[in-house]
Amino acid sequence: MFGFRKRRRKKLRLKEIDPVWKKIIEKRVPFYRLLPTGLKNELHSLIQIFMDEKTFEGCGGLALTDEIKITIAAQACILLLGRETDIYPTLRTILVYPHAYFVPVKQRMPDGTILEGVQHRLGESWTRGQVVLAWDEIEQDTNDIHDGHNLVYHEFAHQLDNESGAVDGVPELTRRSSYIVWARVLSKEYNKLINDIIHHKHPLLDQYGATNPAEFFAVVTEYFFEKPLQLKHLHPELYQQFKNFYKLDPSEIMRAGQ
């Protein structure tokens, strides 16, 4: 089974990307237009493998198109550029809604009672091999590459986080010694974000990152790719840790593309 997959992936890597797919990427993924040729070619290979191995399902009446699937696949694969990766090994299905959706939730109160209700969501990343996304939010994200918000980056960052065995803000790092520095820097920055919010300051990072360490990792991923110059300037140690993990320097890519 693994030998077959390896051969198939090799074949896909050598295959030219569909010109229609390439036009969609150029139109819908502004970061792609900034990439040097070598990284563009690597991204083409990753997208073709992603499209071959993952399943998309339209939900809430959404009719899936190549534009929807390729836009999502391209952004998900940007997170894999330059890294040794098995291309989201536990992910099987991407569920796409036309817009924000509602899910039933239950909350246990301190007195033991259970409150039931519904929660408005734009996306989710499940450890059971699924990612859920709202297409209209993705469309909005692709219109502004510099706003610091990208639903696909966020939810697929959770998938990378999960590859370490737990969604806890500590993804699988290449060296054991890296975990010590990662923990020190991210703990300091996470606590700083919480402190800034408490004292009504205006941090660069979205306040949602203060929810828990897993959300902090996903939010910083969004800013790393969308606001790298500001992140590097205001949070240089944090930027360096994400540069080490993602094996890319988006600040230099953006400077070169200006």
> What does the pLDDT look like over 173-193, one tens digit per residue?
988 889 999 999 999 999 999
Q: Is 61 inside any structural domain?
A: no
| Predicted pLDDT of residue 124 | 84
Q: Is 99 inside any structural domain?
A: no
| Predicted pLDDT of residue 123 | 76
Nearest to 180 by CA among 188, 232, 225: 188
Locus of tokens 């959404």: 62
How many domains in the chain? 1
Q: Is 147 inside any structural domain?
A: no
| Predicted pLDDT of residue 14 | 87
97 pLDDT tier (thresholds 50, 70, 90): very high
Helix ranges restricted to H, 15-36: 19-28, 30-34
pTM here? 0.91
Q: Is 132 inside any structural domain?
A: no
- Please, is 162 exposed, middle or buried when counting C-beta atoms within 10 Å of its C-beta (0-12, 13-18, 19+)? buried
Mean pLDDT estimate for the chain: 91
Alpha carbons 23 and 32: distance in angstroms, whole number: 11
Q: What are phi and psi of 203, to 5 degrees?
A: -70, 160
Mean pLDDT of 31-58: 96
Whether residue 218 has pLDDT greater than 60: yes
Residue length, the chain? Answer: 258
Whether residue 165 has pLDDT greater than 70: yes
Q: Is 96 inside any structural domain?
A: no
Alpha carbons 17 and 91: distance in angstroms, whole number: 22
pLDDT tens digits, 228-248: 999 999 999 999 999 999 999
Q: Is 6 inside any structural domain?
A: no
Q: The domain that contains 242 carries what CATH number?
A: 3.40.390.10
pLDDT tens digits, 130-151: 999 999 999 998 877 778 899 9
Bridge partners, residue 119, by sequence: 103
What does DSSP assign to residue 82?
T
Quick one: which H or E segment has residue 58?
Answer: strand 55-58
Domain housing 239: 164-258
Q: Is 80 inside any structural domain?
A: no
Token pair belonging to 146? 């510099």
Query: Do residues 154 and 138 lie in contact, with contact meaning Cβ atoms separated by under 8 Å?
Result: no
Q: What are phi and psi of 33, to 5 degrees?
A: -65, -20
Q: Is 59 inside any structural domain?
A: no
| Predicted pLDDT of residue 23 | 97
Alpha carbons 155 and 216: distance in angstroms, whole number: 12
CA dihedral 117, 154, 25, 225 (to 10 degrees): 150
What does DSSP assign to residue 207?
G
Quick one: which H or E segment has residue 63?
Answer: none
CA dihedral 190, 244, 258, 225 (to 10 degrees): -40
